[in-house]
């Protein structure tokens, strides 16, 4: 048994619970992957909302004070040359790296070089991080929990500097090999990887934020695409006390004479519980967004409501309604563009051609 697997110490009851939990997550994975193939408009808005929440939560876990509203305003009005402080620099670094992962995860391998590149990208806006950005640590560090009023608490010590490169290489090789040969379920492998990464704490700064970005990367690479539409970071922020407690429980025998008793079971269940909770949150957010008409302007929402009440209906009927009953006045050319947009976004469908075309809701 290799040293990573030996840290999974589950009794029969825990093993049964693990199987059930993974089955629920994988069932949702299949359901959501089917949704993603047919939807467009709602997914754009869900990802936008989740991105802001993820950036805000992940930076606040590390001590930032920016609210989600402030993060949103910064992203909408940002000028890189005018980032005023470290908090704003960290927000932009997280945003840039998260977007890079969303857009390119299929072509980003799990390797030391790419992890270093992601770290460099994460800290690229901070001049204070010039010296160590993209390089493994040269000074010993500790995992520290940040609490209000600038209170810090040491959670545990991490891998010594001279051991970092070897431990990172060993962990990455095990992760890639185990996922490739399918000997252990990928969700378990990812949970162990994140635990090991945090335990090694390979960089001088930014390890917590990078661990959450790597979580997203690995989940996406293993087809858990729903992770980009709901904020995993937000759940960690809301359970920060438990997050640190399960890490401490796993860590308490690490690098001690009782090292063979190192146990990641509590961390594993914490990690998987949060992913399962994400599926419930995403379903709720998706249903609410869809009921409100998604990312539509007021005119498009009113067109949608009219078709819902009068389907099937023709272009002339829709235009007559807006001419006589609505405060929203617009040309028939604009109406045609809106109908085409709603159709392309799979909100409505059309049957027939020319003047005989009728519109109804997508089923």
**pLDDT tens for residues 44-54?**
888 989 999 99
Percent of the chain with pLDDT strictly greater than 70: 94
Contact 280, 287 (CB under 8 A): no
Q: What is the pLDDT of residues 198-233, one digit of tens each?
A: 999 999 999 999 999 999 999 999 999 999 999 999
Residues 249 and 266 sit within 8 Å (Cβ to Cβ): yes
- C-alpha closest to that of 125 among 52, 56, 206: 206
Whether the CB-CB separation of 74 and 59 falls below 8 Å is answered with no
Domain extents in the chain:
5-291, 298-361
Whether 215 and 53 have beta carbons less than 8 Å apart is answered as no
Q: What angle do CA 278, 279, 284 make, to 5 degrees?
A: 95
Q: What is the pLDDT of residues 81-116, one digit of tens each?
A: 577 788 889 999 999 999 999 999 999 999 999 999
229-239 confidence digits (pLDDT tens):
999 999 999 99
Mean pLDDT value across the chain:
89
What is the CATH number that goes with domain 5-291?
Answer: 1.10.3290.10
pLDDT value, residue 322:
81
Model confidence at 157, in pLDDT bands (50, 70, 90)? confident
In 147-297, alpha helices (H): 164-181, 186-200, 207-221, 232-238, 240-251, 265-291
Read off the tokens for 325: 């009953």
Residue 127: pLDDT over 70: yes
The fold of the 298-361 domain, in CATH, is Arc Repressor Mutant, subunit A (1.10.10)
CA distance 167 to 94: 25
pLDDT of residue 142 exceeding 80: no
Q: Average pLDDT in the 339-362 region?
A: 85
Q: Which residues contact 124 (CB under 8 A, 6 or more apart)?
A: 93, 96, 133
Please state the rounded mean pLDDT for residues 266-290: 90
37 pLDDT above the threshold of 90: no
Considering the entire predicted model, what is its pTM? Answer: 0.80
Between 61-70, 77-86, 264-273, the lowest mean confidence (pLDDT) is in 77-86
């Amino acid at each position: 048994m290799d040293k990573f697997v030996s840290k999974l110490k589950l009794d029969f009851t825990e093993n049964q619970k693990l199987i059930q939990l993974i089955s629920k997550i994988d069932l949702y994975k299949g359901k959501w992957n089917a949704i993603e193939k047919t939807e467009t408009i709602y997914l754009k808005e869900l990802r936008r909302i989740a991105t802001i929440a993820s950036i805000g939560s992940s930076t606040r876990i590390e001590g930032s004070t920016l609210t989600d509203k402030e993060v949103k305003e910064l992203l909408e009005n940002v000028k890189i040359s005018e980032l005023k402080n470290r908090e704003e620099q960290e927000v932009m670094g997280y945003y840039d790296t998260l977007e890079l992962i969303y857009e390119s995860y299929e072509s980003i391998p799990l390797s030391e070089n790419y992890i270093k590149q992601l770290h460099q990208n994460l800290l690229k806006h901070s001049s204070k991080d010039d010296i160590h950005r993209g390089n493994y640590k040269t000074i010993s560090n500790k995992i520290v929990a940040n609490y209000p009023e600038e209170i810090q608490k040491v959670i545990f010590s991490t891998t010594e500097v001279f051991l970092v490169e070897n431990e990172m290489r060993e962990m990455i090789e095990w992760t890639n090999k185990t996922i490739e040969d399918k000997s252990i379920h990928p969700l378990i492998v990812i949970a162990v990887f994140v635990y090991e990464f945090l335990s090694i704490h390979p960089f001088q700064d930014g390890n917590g934020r990078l661990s959450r970005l790597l979580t997203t990367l690995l989940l996406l690479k293993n087809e858990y695409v729903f992770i980009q539409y709901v904020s995993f970071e937000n759940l960690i922020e809301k359970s920060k006390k438990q997050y640190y407690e399960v890490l401490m429980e796993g860590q308490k025998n690490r690098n001690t004479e009782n090292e063979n008793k190192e146990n990641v079971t509590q961390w594993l269940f914490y990690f998987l519980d949060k992913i399962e909770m994400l599926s419930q949150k995403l379903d709720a957010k998706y249903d609410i967004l869809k009921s409100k008409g998604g990312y539509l302007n007021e005119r498009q929402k009113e067109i949608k409501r009219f078709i819902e009440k009068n389907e099937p209906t023709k272009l002339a009927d829709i235009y007559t309604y807006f001419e006589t009953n609505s405060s929203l006045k617009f040309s028939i050319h604009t109406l045609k563009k809106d109908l085409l947009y709603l159709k392309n976004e799979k909100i409505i469908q059309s049957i027939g051609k020319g003047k005989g075309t009728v519109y109804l809701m997508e089923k």
